[in-house]
Amino acid sequence: MPHSTLFEQAQEFLQLYYSESNLAGLEKRLDQVQVEILQTGTYRLTEKELSYGAKLAWRNSNRCMGRLFWKTLKVRDRRTLRSAEEVFLDALAHLKSATQGGKIRSTLSVYATADEGDSGFRILNKQLVRFAGYTLPNGEILGDPDAVAFTSYCMSLGWEGKNTAFDLLPLVIQRQGEPASWFALPEEKVLRVSLSHPDYTWFKELGLQWYAVPVISDMRLEIGGISFPCAPFNGWYMLTEIAARNLGDVQRYNLLPVLAKKLNLDTRQVKTLWKDKALQVLQEAVLHSFQSQGVTLVDHHTASEQFLEFCKQEESKGRVVQADWAWIVPPTASSTLGVFHQEWDNQILSPNFHYQSAPWKEEERAKEPTSTVKKCPFSAN
């Protein structure tokens, strides 16, 4: 990135930070940053700048419905760590701090980045906690179908799972210029929620579960032109994320047919609304289980009200909320929610979180034999 462009982005962020924080000394700080960029080609964010920038990234997250609480984000500056093992141990500390026995706290940890002149890190998992997926000899999937490819990659590194539907994947961490390393997640470090239903005793016998804290670990945090490819962060789950998507989606655990059979529903035709009925029971089970076990979870109706309150607060500050409607509106009971009837611009602001390519996928593609068959240039497959 040209020095002038980096300074412009730094200036834009620092002006916002100093203005919103009612701080003096902006011109002096800008002079420091400009000199640092001219001398080294980059600059280093202070701990306070990093903390506020991370909170702004959450406030600007177009696809997040939980932004009402952006000011409460706990930011852990861990840029001094220098090995994959240190990052792993600190990720466990992140989990503990965020979990709090079930009283989930929004937390973000930031590790070294090449953009500040260090040897940066990447966590290759989508989330710190995720369940494995295995392809069985008969072609069926055991566990999470979304994790099959990554599970195979982990096994190629030497990891072995227990071959259950809810195996914890290892954490795979890579420091720039070094091979990836995997680390087994200790069972006692991960809070799981066993699923049961308040009315159906047979539900518990299905042996279903989910983990308490969704720590996203594969997105890039950008603040003032500086990118942090390793910045895992979490809020708490919304009911539909687990019930309607993770457990209910056809491409994931696909539990609706299983529940429909237990409920003796007529699945011969979709017009019997058997999917709707099964999904309702699944949502009741997830909500009941998290609440009865004291683990933070928000239902989609409450989340909708919270997001509209966020919009109201932002409006009172003279700020325009940016949001991706398709992500803000939950997949269940959509038209009964206030967010369904709203419209927003979807401009990407800075600071923010961004998707980034997965190094392990690039490694896997590199292993594939070169094909002489010409492919369609417009195909992503």
CA neighbor of 215 nearest in space, from 235, 230, 229? 235
Q: What b-and-e string marks burial along 37-73, b requiring 16 or more CB atoms within 10 Å of the CB?
A: beeeebbbbeeebbbbbbbbbbbbbbebbbbbbbeeb
State how far the Cα of 249 lies from the Cα of 348, in Å rounded to an integer.
28
Catalytic residue among 58, 70, 236, 274: 236
Q: Residue 177 gets which letter from DSSP?
A: T
> Pairing relation of β-strands 141-143 and 133-135?
antiparallel
Catalytic residue among 67, 76, 78, 122: 67
CA neighbor of 152 nearest in space, from 4, 364, 335? 364
Catalytic residue among 29, 58, 59, 64: 64
Is residue 210 among the annotated active site residues? Answer: no
Is residue 67 among the annotated active site residues? Answer: yes
- What backbone torsions phi and psi does residue 107 show, to the nearest 5 degrees? -140, 145
Catalytic residue among 29, 241, 274, 360: 241
Contacts of 59 by beta carbon, 8 Å cutoff, 6+ apart: 67, 70, 314
Give me the torsion for CA of 251, 256, 261, 262, rounded to 10°: 130
Q: Which residues are catalytic?
A: 64, 67, 236, 241
